């Protein structure tokens, strides 16, 4: 049964505050104004060796007004829920825009504007968007985790942690549960009014083994991804928790005994539990158009996939089809409408191996000649201005593609990569290195045991160009993360990346212990 927006949120004076703020912005001459009211509740629990190690439960509540005045941005936020205060915040946003305009005029050009194919950034103009009046949207979940007693949540984490800790070969267990309930109300001077509600959660269990005789240690973490689901996720909807927790001790023991990898070129079969992160770093960030234009450069760099290469850049093999998607069920970046009132969409980023699209907000879309934004504006709190943020960026499966077992069966000498761990990528999203939770040697189409100290290294285009087979829909998994960072001041966004298993030919494998010793 679909959920409705929380009455406690809709009972707030949302419309009255918006009307007061937008009316004031109009009266002061704003060409555009939008009002965003948010209530974001975050709760977390941490356990160490089945004992509580910390918890938190916080709520961020407030509103923001953003304006375009005189062709310049202005922004301000507040927490006072009175009409006079909302109007005052709108006035502060206009005053900020006026001050910014004076600074730009005094400097003689756009201060800090990077070089782009379009010259200076010039006046702020927004791509058109249809009016979405009185729209509501609620994410797909069954049980709001905030309706579940804390005792039940903490008790389940403790129980599963204790079960892992009691297993042979497990010396320590770290566990955590993050839960978020997010409400947003948006209104703008064009007439769009939206109210939304999202729920998401991220459970993690990590087992650690220590060899007392040698001092060596290693760990094995659950592969269950964070998800736009409710408490039903911990009750077995969408993931086999019981089965995975039962397997971890044996897998960890095998990993502790595994030999170190011999460096060289190998064929890789990469599981979705690892490949999602490679997608995030080498495609997701690289196809944010503000990065590709050089506008976003200070936080984790720009992009090699520059705008002049749209429609021409050979990103990977012809098997590579990647979409940006704000509509995927249970996706962490799934919404009904973004923070500029743009309706959620799905679109192509890479088609048959060629770069064909970018992630856009309304300003960047207008600046670069696109008719419409694809809904990628997001702010992580009412005190932050919306910035261009990542959609659910996903590699599409081959409708007639093979199973993971069949992909492995076609490899004579290779490695099967499972689970994400550490990674490194340069500021242009081009040169990278990734490790994983576990690695299996493939010999003549069969898995012959785990390996340790493995990392795969490549450039983005070489790696995706080496993709020789894409698994079928039966191998597709929606992975993701809660902690994608961007902007200054820094903002954090949750995002999902779906993908099938895939086969990559002749990838360079490093031995991490040998590399560390150099």
Q: What is the pLDDT of residues 48-61, one digit of tens each?
A: 999 999 999 999 99
Amino acid 514: pLDDT: 77
Query: At residue 111, does pLDDT exceed 80?
Result: no
Considering the chain, what percentage of its residues have pLDDT values greater than 90? 91
CA 76 vs CA 35, 79, 91, 141, 192: distances in Å: 10, 11, 9, 33, 20
Sign for the pseudo-dihedral over CA of 218, 220, 226, 229: negative
**DSSP assigned state of 513:** H
Contact of 219 with 208, CB cutoff 8 Å: yes
Contact of 346 with 392, CB cutoff 8 Å: no
* pLDDT tens digit sequence for 385-399: 999 999 999 999 999
Token pair of 107 as six digits? 């400097």
The beta strands (E) that lie in 227-334 are given as 264-270, 322-325
Query: At residue 115, does pLDDT exceed 50?
Result: no
Please compute the mean of the pLDDT values over residues 240-248 and round it to a whole number: 97
* pLDDT tens digit sequence for 306-356: 999 999 999 999 999 999 999 999 999 999 999 999 999 999 999 999 999
* pLDDT tens digit sequence for 190-243: 999 999 999 999 999 999 999 988 889 999 999 999 999 999 999 999 999 999
Amino acid 230: pLDDT: 98
Amino acid 107: pLDDT: 74
Query: At residue 97, does pLDDT exceed 50?
Result: yes
Please compute the mean of the pLDDT values over residues 413-437 and round it to a whole number: 96
- ∠ CA 305-310-312, rounded to 5°: 95
CA 423 vs CA 275, 303, 431, 491: distances in Å: 12, 17, 11, 20
Please compute the mean of the pLDDT values over residues 264-293 and round it to a whole number: 97
Alpha-carbon dihedral 88, 93, 95, 98, rounded to 10 degrees = -160
Token pair of 318 as six digits? 């012809």
Q: pTM of the full predicted structure?
A: 0.95
Bridge-based pairing of strands 193-210 and 135-138 is parallel
* pLDDT tens digit sequence for 81-93: 999 999 999 999 9
Mean pLDDT, rounded, of the chain: 95
Domains of the chain from N-terminus onward: 7-257 (3.30.2290.10), 264-516 (no CATH)
* pLDDT tens digit sequence for 469-493: 999 999 999 999 999 999 988 999 9
Amino acid 109: pLDDT: 52
How confident is residue 108, by pLDDT bands cut at 50, 70 and 90?
low
How confident is residue 117, by pLDDT bands cut at 50, 70 and 90?
very low
Query: At residue 375, does pLDDT exceed 50?
Result: yes
CA 18 vs CA 21, 132, 375, 484: distances in Å: 5, 16, 21, 30
* pLDDT tens digit sequence for 33-80: 999 999 999 999 999 999 999 999 999 999 999 999 999 999 999 999
Contact of 437 with 220, CB cutoff 8 Å: yes
């Amino acid at each position: 049964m679909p959920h409705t927006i929380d009455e406690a949120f809709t009972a707030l004076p949302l419309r009255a505050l918006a009307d007061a703020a937008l009316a004031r912005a109009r009266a002061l001459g704003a060409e555009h104004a939008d009002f965003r009211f948010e209530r974001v509740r975050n709760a977390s629990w941490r356990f160490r060796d089945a004992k509580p190690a910390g918890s938190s439960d916080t709520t961020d509540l407030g509103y923001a007004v953003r304006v375009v005045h005189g062709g310049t941005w202005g922004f301000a936020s507040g927490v006072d829920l009175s009409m006079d205060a909302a109007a005052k915040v709108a006035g502060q946003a206009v005053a900020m825009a006026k001050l910014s305009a004076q600074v730009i005029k005094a400097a003689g050009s756009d201060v800090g504007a990077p070089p782009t194919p379009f010259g200076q950034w010039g006046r702020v103009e927004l791509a058109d968007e249809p009016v979405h009046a009185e729209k509501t949207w609620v994410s797909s979940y069954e049980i709001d985790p905030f309706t579940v007693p804390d005792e039940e949540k903490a008790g389940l984490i403790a129980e599963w942690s204790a079960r892992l800790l009691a297993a042979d070969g497990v010396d320590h267990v770290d566990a955590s549960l993050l839960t978020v309930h997010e409400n947003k109300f948006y209104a703008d001077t064009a007439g769009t009014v939206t109210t939304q509600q999202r729920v998401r959660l991220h459970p993690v269990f990590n087992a650690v083994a220590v060899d007392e005789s040698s001092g060596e240690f290693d760990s094995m973490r659950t592969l269950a991804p964070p998800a736009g689901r409710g408490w039903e996720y911990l009750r077995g909807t969408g993931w086999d928790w019981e089965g995975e927790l039962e397997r971890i001790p044996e897998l960890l023991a095998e990993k502790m005994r595994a030999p170190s990898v011999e460096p060289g070129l190998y064929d890789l079969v990469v599981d979705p539990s690892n490949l999602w992160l490679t997608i995030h770093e080498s495609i997701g960030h690289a196809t944010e158009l503000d990065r590709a234009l050089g506008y976003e450069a200070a936080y984790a760099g720009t992009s090699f996939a520059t705008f002049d290469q749209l429609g021409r850049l050979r990103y990977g093999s012809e098997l590579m089809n990647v979409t940006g998607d704000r509509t995927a069920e249970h996706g962490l970046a799934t919404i009904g409408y973004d923070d500029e009132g743009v309706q959620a969409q799905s679109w192509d980023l890479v088609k048959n191996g060629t770069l064909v699209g970018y992630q856009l907000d309304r300003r960047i879309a207008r600046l670069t000649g696109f008719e419409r934004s694809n809904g990628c504006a997001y702010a992580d709190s009412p005190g932050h201005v919306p910035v261009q943020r990542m959609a659910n960026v996903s590699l599409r499966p081959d409708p007639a593609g093979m199973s993971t077992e069949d992909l492995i069966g076609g490899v004579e000498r290779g490695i099967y990569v499972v689970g994400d761990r550490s990674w490194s990528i340069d500021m242009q999203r081009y040169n990278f290195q990734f490790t994983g939770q576990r690695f299996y040697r493939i010999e003549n189409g069969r898995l012959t045991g785990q390996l340790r100290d493995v990392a795969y290294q490549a450039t983005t285009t070489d790696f995706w160009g080496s993709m020789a087979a894409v698994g079928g829909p039966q191998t597709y998994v929606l992975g993701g993360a809660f902690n994608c960072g961007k902007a200054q001041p820094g903002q954090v966004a949750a995002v999902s990346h779906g993908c099938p298993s895939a086969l990559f030919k002749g990838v360079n494998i490093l031995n991490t212990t040998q590399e560390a010793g150099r």
